[in-house]
Chain A
Amino acid sequence: MTGGIRSRLLWRALRREPYQLVRLGGWSVLEAAPAFLIGLAVARAIEDGFAAGRPETGLAWLAALGVTWAVAAFAARQVVLAVAAIAEPFRDDLLAHVVRGALRTATAAHALRPDSAAVARAGLQVELARDAFAALVTTLRGFAFTVISVVLGLLTLAPGAAALVLPPFAAGLGLFLASLPRLIRQERAYLVADEELTKAMTSMSLGLRDIVACGAEEQVGARVEDHVGRQAGAARAVAKVTAIRTAALAVGGWLPVVCLLAGTPWLVRDGAGAGVVVGALAYVTQSLAPALGGLVQGLGASGVRLAASLERITGSAGPEPGPASPEPVTGSVGPEAGAASPEPVTGSAAPEPGPTTTVRVLPPVAEVELREVTFAYGPHADPVLDRFDLHVREGERLAVVGPSGAGKSTLAALVSGLLRPDAGEVSVGGVPAHRVDRRGRVLIPQEAYVFRGSLLENLAYLGDPSRSEIEAVLAVLGADRLGDLDGQVDPAALSAGQRQLIALARAYLAPARLVVLDEATCHLDPAAEARVEAAFAERGGTLIVVAHRLSSAQRADRVLLMDGARVQLGTHDELVRISPDYADLVGHWKPERTS
């Protein structure tokens, strides 16, 4: 599956710019011109020039060679640029792949939290892949053009010499190609072993205190030493195949020389002079052998690196989306359409559309209904919610409280349609939660999202509010000191509380009538939090608050207490009366707690 992605990426990079390919081919011909001329020029310079007592003819041939070298050097520059013109879009593709994949993985239903280090590593791999790709294209192309030039040159100079040189060269090339699959396998095995070793050593170094405290020196030491041994073994295996590769290189590079010398008497009998022999030798030692060396290096090193990098990039970024548009088709009806929705929004008889063709619907009312909902993070995991029922009326304010890990955020994600239940139904105004149009509900999580852009862009992220509306809302939320609306926002320069205020103002400005705040006010001080919650109460619509402080629960119409398997629902006063756990909580939950 991912192998298909890799070859598709490579293929697309090569095919996309046909003009660059033509340009590359043209300059390559010029770059390979010395490979064609070198033997011929040396032979003629000696035979017709210096050895014949006509040094000026000899000089003329050498000058021609020199000029050809100069042209070739310029052509080599153009070749690099043409390769760059292919490699840079390839890098763009890879980077886009990494970005889209990381976003997709992070926003996927079961994502717990994104691993930013893995993303950073993928970014580095993109650069490695680009360099390896460029090197590979350069060497493969250089080899092909050089060999063709040398063959033409040899045939022009002395066809007999071609017959002596080419068969042993082909034999060396064949040997190398035959050893290539094994070489690539061993190189990759080495890369993997080396990486595993680094990982094991990193984990050991980071955990040194803990390893010693647990008396696990022997256990961990043995494990890391195992990696050391495996890495060394892989390195030895690479050394062995590299030796074979070097031998193949020697056969292809040196055997033609010996054959040529051995056939010299025969060439001389056919009328060739010493100059012709030296010219043919120049072809072999100056062009063929270096080209073969370049190929060996290119395929053996760059090829392996490219394969490994692409594997990591496509592996870390998750699967490629289908050919369809990544945006879900949005076909919604306004609230005025009411129950006359054209979509059969309930009833399990309707065929479930695929994720890319989900038709989003704007629910007519913002009431939330969970019926017999069961949800677990995997088939082997204990359920977080087990046959859970909840009804939140339109316009109601519900606070959800409980210790960390009780499932509060999971509940928020289910109501917002980010997660889908394993069994049971979650619906908003009769519409299944995962099909609710984004204008119908808004979720503000604990980690407020603020991006580099103007404050206005950040605030208008979920809707299309006017400037005066924005200013009014900022005043209501007590967020009017965030700066100029057109000023650029640097998320890193803002405090956590300021970021939360921006996210809250954004949610307030959204048209959604169902608002879910998942500890969205945890970095605000209690007074600012109270002001925000009061403002959202004024705003109207249904409000579900995963509470960070108990004061949020006291302000709510009803409170949902979640603690492991026990779930209790009631008003604040009722819960204090009927639930010892809740009473306990009221006694202990101190307002200064922030995490």
Chain B
Amino acid sequence: MRAGDRLVVETVRRGGPWPGVLAVTTLAGAAGELALPYVMGRAVDALVTAQPGAVSWLIGCAGVTAVVALCESFGVWARGASGAHAAARLRRGILRHVLGVGQAMTRRFPAGELVTRAGLNAEETARAPEAVAGTLGLLVPTLGALVALTLIDPLLTLALGVGLVLILLVLRSFLRVTTTMAGDYQQVQGEIAARLLDALEGARTIASAGTGAEEARRILGPLPRLRAHGLRMWRANATAGVQAGLVVPLLEVAVLAVGGFLLAAGELTVGELYAAARYAVLGAALSTSLGYLGGLARARSAAGRLADVLAVPSGPHGGRALPAGSGTVEFRGVSAPGLSVGDLVIPGGTVTAVVGRSGSGKSLLSALAARLAEPDRGTVLLDGVPLAELDRAALRRAVSCAFERPVLVGDTIGEAIGLGLDDDSGVPAAARAARADTFIRRLPDGYATSLALTPLSGGERQRIGLARAFARGERLLVLDDATSSLDTITERQVGRALTAESHGRTRLVVAHRLATAARADLVVWLEDGVVRAQGPHHELWADPCYRAVFGVEES
């Protein structure tokens, strides 16, 4: 069995009482719906001619309608509750798994894709019980109605079949028309949106020129065209509706006419004629119920997509704590895709710069040191303990990272810096070291300013990311090109704060700038995925190839 199908079965099995309730209400409701026209027809006949059994037929009729109504109400409840229960269960599992796997997950699935899978696909998979029940609930009465109609007279069924073919044809031609029209409409929509976005980019120019009203008129210029395309879509819609709306009533009229002749011939009672007309309408819903089968197919394919996410393996975490140490990082025979580090020691308490042309493996080296990536072979140790054996919390207390493009998580700027910390009292000091304190304090609500409402520049974002890293990382601080968007003055100030740090944790700095390498105690020079050399900057400087890394020409 495929993993997706296993997930569907498990979703039904772990659905609590709801799948059972769904099955019962659906089947009972379907049976009731199928019985109703017959019972009603008999009741009419009996009541009109005042037969002795008339009252029991009336009571039967009331009973069946009550069953149908109750089943429908409970069914609706059970559908909603079953979906909610299953979706929440699936989502919790996926979220835990995604967080457990970490960045390897986003390498496999882009963020938007993950959200779609945990959101929409979980919802679709959760509807598996409902899809099964819904298919039964529609197929039983429609197929049953066709059987009942055939029992009354096969001719009626034949007329119905012809009608159904007509409906399908109409629907197909309708769909073809709208897609092309929707394309034109969306194009004009896109045009207006593009004009608006241009204007928003130029908001300062428009504000200073005072041309807001003219701009609005210019942006809305294509509106008449949009309306013309819109009306054309409505017209196609309306025309197709005429055809679709005609088939079922005409079908019923035809059944009534044929039935009328049978009535005149004495082969049908009035009640039976009524029942035949109702069965015709019920049977005409066959195409809709076939559409429901698609629900189950959707649930299965959605479950397959969830299973893909759950199949990504997560790296193990041990339970060891760190011994006392200065933050020495040791690579032992380490290799990863595109990078072969071999043996490398980064002495505790130093500032070590990682340099090299782009694509030489600098980011991967820093990710390995922080255990944001797993090596294919070899071991990375921090103060003698392999990172994989460290307790997860101990690892993150000891190591922190700042990135070129940090993603800020949290509602406010203060929360984003203190992310995951139990104690955020160190936040302002970290922000000061990252030269972020001044601009944060100038925001409307200071540290409590909402992130969502505050568009930040790349430099501001980097400084908040730096502050977040400075606020943690007792043994090792990894900066992966984390100052690239800062202006020169600010970069120098941050660099000074970094080198002058008093508590002496190890700092591993990936950088492109000459000044950063010159300030470091030690430089690790990477080339084409291997360590070409390691040593103080002034010693490496003698090598022209090293100078070329910084774009310094031979003279």
Contacts and interface: CB of A to CB of B under 8 A. Distances in A.
B58 interface: yes
B48 A235 contact: no
B489 A563 contact: yes
27 contacts: A66-B249, A73-B243, A77-B241, A103-B216, A115-B455, A201-B118, A205-B111, A205-B118, A207-B407, A210-B407, A217-B100, A231-B87, A232-B87, A235-B83, A236-B85, A243-B77, A246-B76, A254-B68, A264-B47, A382-B446, A404-B457, A418-B204, A438-B209, A449-B198, A452-B194, A452-B198, A491-B198
B201 interface: yes
A388 to B, nearest CB: 14
Contacts of B231: 81, 84-85, 88
B459 A205 contact: no
Interface string A78-94: 10110111001101100
Interface string B233-269: 0110111011101100110010011001101100001
Given A106-B203, A380-B444, A204 B234 contact: no
A461 B211 CA distance: 9
A590 B96 CA distance: 48
A380 B440 CA distance: 11
Given A96-B216, A273-B48, A205 B106 contact: yes
What 3 pairs between A and B have smallest CB-CB spacing?
A239-B80, A449-B202, A215-B396
Contacts of A255: 65
B420 A216 contact: yes
A568 interface: no
Given A81-B235, A113-B455, A450-B198, A274 B48 contact: yes
Given A102-B196, A205-B114, A381 B441 contact: yes
Given A212-B102, A258-B65, A326-B213, A452 B195 contact: yes
A228 B278 contact: no
Contact of A201 (B119, B212, B485, B489): B119
B505 interface: no
A324 B281 CA distance: 58
Contacts of B184: none
Nearest to B86: A232
Given A107-B206, A268-B47, A595-B459, A95 B223 contact: yes
A376 to B, nearest CB: 7
Interface stretch (A18-26, A51-59, A345-353): A51-59
Interface string A406-424: 0000000100111000000
Nearest to A268: B48
A286 B255 CA distance: 15
Nearest to B227: A88
Contacts of B118: 201, 205
Nearest to A134: B234
A184 B100 CA distance: 38
B85 A208 contact: no
Interface string A573-595: 00000000000010011100101
Contacts of B209: 438, 442, 461-462
B72 A246 contact: yes
B208 A73 contact: no
Contact of A99 (B58, B219, B403): B219
B169 interface: no
B135 to A, nearest CB: 19
Contacts of A445: 204-205, 208
A81 B77 contact: no
Given A274-B45, A281-B44, A221 B61 contact: no
Which of B88, B197, B396 lies at the interface centre, i.e. has the most chain A CB atoms within 10 A of its CB?
Answer: B88
Given A62-B260, A258-B61, A503-B205, 16 more contacts: A49-B260, A81-B238, A114-B203, A115-B455, A201-B115, A204-B409, A212-B103, A217-B100, A238-B80, A262-B58, A281-B40, A281-B44, A326-B212, A381-B445, A382-B442, A404-B460
Nearest to A446: B204
A265 interface: yes
A373 to B, nearest CB: 15
A45 B256 contact: yes
A304 interface: no
A80 B200 contact: no
A357 to B, nearest CB: 14
A214 B227 CA distance: 51
Interface string A246-281: 110011001101100110110010000111011001
B15 to A, nearest CB: 13
A240 interface: yes
A123 B189 contact: yes
Interface in B261-283: 261, 263-264, 269-271, 273-274, 277-278, 281
B490 A216 contact: no
Contacts of A213: 370, 372, 396, 400-401, 403
Nearest to B232: A84
Nearest to B54: A265
B201 A449 contact: yes
Contacts of B396: 213-215
A103 B215 contact: yes
Contact of B196 (A99, A207, A326, A444): A99
Contact of B419 (A70, A211, A450): A211
Interface residues of B, number: 148
Contacts of A341: none
Contacts, number: 453
Given A46-B263, A381-B445, A491-B198, A403 B403 contact: no
B347 interface: no
A99 B199 CA distance: 10
A45 B492 CA distance: 95
B193 A378 contact: no
A450 B202 CA distance: 8
A51 B83 CA distance: 51
B76 A243 contact: yes
B475 to A, nearest CB: 13
B446 A381 contact: yes
A221 B95 contact: yes
A116 interface: yes
A203 B541 CA distance: 44
B39 to A, nearest CB: 10
B145 to A, nearest CB: 14
B81 A236 contact: yes
Contact of A76 (B95, B194, B242): B242
A138 B195 CA distance: 33
Interface in B114-144: 114-115, 118-119
A206 interface: yes
B488 interface: yes
A127 B193 CA distance: 13
A45 B451 CA distance: 71
Contact of B444 (A34, A207, A377): A377
Contact of B270 (A76, A265, A275): A275
Contacts of B200: 102-103, 106, 114, 116, 119
A232 B84 contact: yes
A225 B488 CA distance: 43
A379 B96 CA distance: 41
A209 B242 contact: no
Contacts of A103: 196, 199-200, 203, 206, 212, 215-216, 219
B270 A209 contact: no
A114 B178 CA distance: 34
A450 B194 CA distance: 12
A340 interface: no
A112 interface: yes
Interface in B427-444: 438-439, 441-444
Interface string B213-231: 1011011100100110011
B537 interface: no
A286 B199 CA distance: 54
A588 B208 contact: no
Contact of A378 (B269, B271, B444): B444
Contacts of A34: 249
Contacts of A251: 69
